[in-house]
Amino acid sequence: MEHNLAVGLDIGTTKIVAMIGRKNEYGKVEILGIGKSKSLGVHRGVVNNITQTIQSIQQAVQEAEVAADLKIDEVTVGIAGQHIRSLQHSDYITRSNSETVIDEEDIDRLINQVHKLVMLPGEEIIHVLPQEYKVDGQAEIKEPIGMYGGRLEANFHVVVGQVSSIRNIGRCVQSSGLDLEGITLEPLASANAVLSQEEKEAGVALIDIGGGTTDLAIFRDGIIRHTAVIPFGGNVITEDIKEGCSIIEKQAELLKIKFGSAWPGENKDNEIVSIPGLRGREPKEITLKNLSKIIHARVVEIVEQVYVEIKNYGHEEQKKKLIAGIVLTGGGSQLKHLKQLVEYITGMDTRIGYPNEHLAGDSDDDITSPLFATAVGLVLDGLKRQERKKIEQQEDVVDDEEAPEVEEVKEKPVKERRSFLDKLTERVKDFLDNAE
């Protein structure tokens, strides 16, 4: 596969999307091809049928290959699902020599210490994200490298997940004849695709409403502060319509998309949809008012759960206020009047997030739909990984001595800091290779 190409594979509960993208000369991302298939073996973001998932992945990948007229060998995959949780943790190290400046090794030591936290059985740390550092009690340091100090401590945002679920995803990708280029947390991928740097600085909550799960990522001062995965999404709404109106799932899904609204006040009592009966039975008549009441009840529940997580982060404290409010993305964000409902429940400014932040100007409207936010984010992540690989290869070639020291300090942390997921990817790969 060409060097400057990346493929994002979003394995969701309702659909699997393969997206091929490359950077153009202006640094924007062009989407060359996209393929999507119905996801059959995934429930609430977790693979529960390997064979069906492999078939769906192959179908999506094939479609993308035909669209872009390219062969795909490696992909960047997103992980989400109800097994992901996050916690806050502080840790410190005492340096043996406070006469020398703090360097990456100290930070690595501190981060590796966090990796030793004891987890529940079957859980593993996926992501350790430093929030801010303290050096000898001096607080709110963003970048301690190059400073003097004896005691280095930090607050960490630690994301934890079920190893077996992650390995199953790796297995599906490998069995589909693809290489794992990288693994990324889906809320982070969606955030990259949808949020602007200003929003991340000001404080923003990204809510990605998928089919099986709703992902939340909270940023403030440009740093990710909180992540959560709530095991409800658009499918539960469809399920409720199906039960409440006694119709089949396909009809419920269509009803939701075409006539559904999260705000029951706006439908008149006499607005009625007629649904053909099954196999010669009488057609069913459903009032739109009832439909939106069913949807409203479930959406309120999802939004309230997300709002609890936002409060857990501490949004109500003055220092932690999310000034940019909420950004909604994912397929579920296309529900009519959802923005107004979210604003009403949370009292926070809300907008719908379209993944066009880094895309080239002439991208199709289809691609910039909130449906594809995660896939676009995974492509961006894949492209970033390749750039890092290139830099590393060049660094190996160029003799280190020539580079001025100041630059080294700047360059390296980025490389190191991003590599927890790379380590995870390596571990998953090793496991799969040895398990055969």
Quote the tokens at residue 240. 């409720």
**What percent of the chain shows pLDDT beyond 90?**
62
Quote the tokens at residue 178. 């693809």
CA-CA distance, 16 to 13, in Å (whole number)? 8
pLDDT at 203: 95
DSSP 323: T
Quote the tokens at residue 182. 């990288």
pLDDT at 44: 87
pLDDT at 392: 81
Q: What three-state secondary structure class fits 415?
A: helix
273 has a pLDDT exceeding 80: yes
Distance of CA 351 to the CA centre of its chain: 18
Q: Element (H or E) spanning 288, and its range?
A: helix 288-313
DSSP 274: E
pLDDT tens-place string over residues 225-252: 999 999 999 999 999 999 999 999 999 9
Tokens 């309702």 belong to 14
Side-chain-side CA neighbours of 129 within 13 Å: the count stands at: 22
pLDDT at 418: 52
CA-CA distance, 254 to 267, in Å (whole number)? 18
281 has a pLDDT exceeding 70: yes
pLDDT tens-place string over residues 327-379: 999 999 999 999 999 999 999 999 999 998 888 887 788 889 999 999 999 99
Quote the tokens at residue 317. 């404290």
325 has a pLDDT exceeding 60: yes
Tokens 């501190």 belong to 110
Band (pLDDT 50/70/90 cuts) for residue 401 is low
pLDDT tens-place string over residues 122-153: 898 888 888 899 999 998 898 999 999 999 99
CA-CA distance, 274 to 30, in Å (whole number)? 43
CA-CA distance, 140 to 154, in Å (whole number)? 9
Side-chain-side CA neighbours of 178 within 13 Å: the count stands at: 29
The domain segmentation of the chain, as residue ranges, is 196-353
pLDDT at 90: 93
Decide if 294 contacts 240 (C-beta within 8 A): yes
Report strand pairing: 5-11 vs 74-79.
Answer: parallel
Cα-based distances in Å from 96 to 54, 100, 110, 152, 330: 51, 9, 13, 11, 49
Instruction: Name the least confident of 35-39, 70-74, 90-94, 389-393.
Output: 389-393
7 has a pLDDT exceeding 80: yes
CA-CA distance, 11 to 193, in Å (whole number)? 17
pLDDT at 410: 39
CA-CA distance, 155 to 297, in Å (whole number)? 38
What average pLDDT is seen over the chain?
89
294 has a pLDDT exceeding 50: yes
pLDDT tens-place string over residues 48-68: 999 999 999 999 999 999 999
DSSP 336: B
Band (pLDDT 50/70/90 cuts) for residue 426 is confident
The CA radius of gyration of the chain, in Å to the nearest whole number, is: 23
**What percent of the chain shows pLDDT beyond 70?**
94
CA-CA distance, 420 to 67, in Å (whole number)? 33
424 has a pLDDT exceeding 70: yes
pLDDT at 412: 40
116 has a pLDDT exceeding 70: yes
pLDDT at 329: 96
Decide if 377 contacts 189 (C-beta within 8 A): yes
Report strand pairing: 42-43 vs 46-47.
Answer: antiparallel
CA-CA distance, 91 to 185, in Å (whole number)? 23
Instruction: Name the least confident of 35-44, 314-323, 408-417.
Output: 408-417
399 has a pLDDT exceeding 60: no
CA-CA distance, 109 to 88, in Å (whole number)? 18
Instruction: Name the least confident of 112-116, 173-177, 402-406.
Output: 402-406
Look up the CATH number of domain 196-353.
3.30.420.40
Give residues with Cβ within 8 angstroms of 372, minimum separation 6. Answer: 10, 17, 19, 34, 355, 366
pLDDT at 177: 94
Band (pLDDT 50/70/90 cuts) for residue 406 is very low
Helices (H), 122-209: 163-175, 186-194, 197-202
